[in-house]
Amino acid sequence: MASIAICGLPAWFTYQAVQFQIAPTWAYAAAGALAAVGVLMTVSFLSKAFSGVSTSRERRHR
């Protein structure tokens, strides 16, 4: 859940900044990329957690 917070909050605030015309419209691309990375990392960490693998390892510890 930390990965979605680390990537999601800046992406959300960037989106809001563009909505209020504080940031340029091209910032949507940066916010989208950051959100996509956050979702991919979260899915990866959750799949490892449900498989019983530590986030710093590639395989289960025997």
**Would the pTM of this model clear 0.75, i.e. be above it?**
yes
Question: What ranges do the domains of the chain cover?
Answer: 2-49
pLDDT of residue 60: 67
State the virtual CA torsion across 7, 9, 14, 20 in degrees, nearest 10: 160
Q: H/E/C letters for each residue in 17-53?
A: HHHCCCCCCCHHHHHHHHHHHHHHHHHHHHHHHHHCC
pLDDT of residue 4: 84
For the chain, 62 residues long, give each residue's pLDDT as a single digit of tens: 788 889 999 999 999 999 999 999 999 999 999 999 999 999 988 888 888 887 777 766 66
pLDDT of residue 41: 92
